[in-house]
Copies of this chain bind each other. A is one copy, B any other.
Amino acid sequence: VPRAPVAVVGASGYTGAELLRLLAGHPHVEIADLSAQRAAGATVGEVFGHLRGLPIGERVVDAFDAVRISNTAEIAFTALPHGHSARAVAALRARGVAVVDLSADFRLRDPAEYARWYGGPEATPHPAPELLAEAVYGVPERYRDAIAAASLVAGPGCYPTAAILAAAPLLAAGLIRADGLIVDAKSGASGAGRSPGLATHLPEAGEGVRAYKVAGAHRHTAEIEQELGAAAGASVRLVFTPHLLPMSRGILCCVYAAPGDALSALRTEARGRAVADALAAAYDGEPFVTALPAGACPDTAHVRRSNRAHVSATYDARADRVLAMSAIDNLVKGAAGQAIQCMNAMRGWDERAGLDAPPAFP
CB–CB A296/B49 < 8 A: yes
Q: Interface residue count for A (Cβ, 8 Å)?
A: 92
Q: Cα distance A3–B216 when bound, in Å?
A: 49
A359 CB-CB contact with B under 8 Å: yes
CB–CB B315/A209 < 8 A: no
Chain A, 290-340, CB within 8 A of any chain B CB: 290, 292, 296-305, 308, 310, 314-321, 323, 325, 327
A54 CB-CB contact with B under 8 Å: yes
User: Cβ of A186: which chain B residues have Cβ within 8 Å of it?
Assistant: 186, 209, 243, 245
A54-B358, A184-B184, A308-B53 are known contacts. Are A190 and B211 too (CB-CB below 8 A)? Answer: no
A14-B362, A186-B186, A299-B208 are known contacts. Are A198 and B201 too (CB-CB below 8 A)? Answer: no
CB–CB A202/B206 < 8 A: yes
CB–CB B203/A300 < 8 A: no
A230 CB-CB contact with B under 8 Å: no
CB–CB A216/B358 < 8 A: no
Q: Cα distance A247–B302 when bound, in Å?
A: 16
Closest CB-CB distance, A105 to chain B, in whole Å?
Answer: 22
Q: Cα distance A212–B327 when bound, in Å?
A: 13
Q: Cα distance A361–B52 when bound, in Å?
A: 12
Q: Cα distance A24–B360 when bound, in Å?
A: 12
CB–CB B25/A362 < 8 A: no
User: Cβ of A302: which chain B residues have Cβ within 8 Å of it?
Assistant: 49-50, 52, 208
Q: Which of A32-40, A81-89, A250-258 contacts B (4 or more CB under 8 A)?
A: A250-258
